[in-house]
Amino acid sequence: MTVKDKTEDSLSISLYDDREIILSKLNEAIGFLHEKSISGRVNNEKKETVRINWFKTMGYICSVYNQIKRDVELEDLKKEIDNLKEMIENDFERK
C-alpha cells in the first residue's frame, strides 16, 4: 500500500464518517419537520403557510438525504469495480 493509497483511504473514511453525521442530522430534521407539519398547531391561514413551508423544507431535506446516500452507493460501487479490475489484472499477470 502506497502513501497515496493510505491518504485516499483515510480521506474516504473521514468523508464516510462526516456523511454519517450529516445523514443522522438530516434524519433528525426530517423527523422534527414531519412532526411539526402533521401535528403543529395551525389556527389560521397565515399559519397554514408556515405548515406548507415545513413540508417544502422537509421535501428539500429528503432530497439532500437521498443524494448523499446515492453518492455513498456510487463510491462503494466504484471501489468494488476497482477491486475487481485489480483482481483481473493480477490474474492476467500470473498467466
d(CA 94, CA 30): 52
Which tens digit of pLDDT belongs to each residue from 39-59?
Answer: 877 777 777 888 888 889 999
Cβ neighbours of 58 (radius 10 Å)? 18
Task: Give the C-alpha separation, 14 to 73, whole Å.
Answer: 16
User: 69 with 23: CB under 8 angstroms?
Assistant: yes
What percentage of the chain has pLDDT greater than the value 70?
Answer: 80
Confidence of residue 91 (pLDDT cuts 50, 70, 90): confident
Model confidence at 1: pLDDT above 50 = no
CB crowding 59-84: b at 16 or more within 10 Å, else e = eebbeebeebeeeeeeeeeeeeeeee
Domain boundaries, the chain: 3-94
**Secondary structure in 3-state letters for 23-38:** HHHHHHHHHHHHHHHH
pTM summary value: 0.62
Mean per-residue pLDDT over the chain, rounded: 81
Asked if the model's pLDDT at residue 62 lies above 90, the reply is yes
Read off the pLDDT band of 76 (50, 70, 90): very high
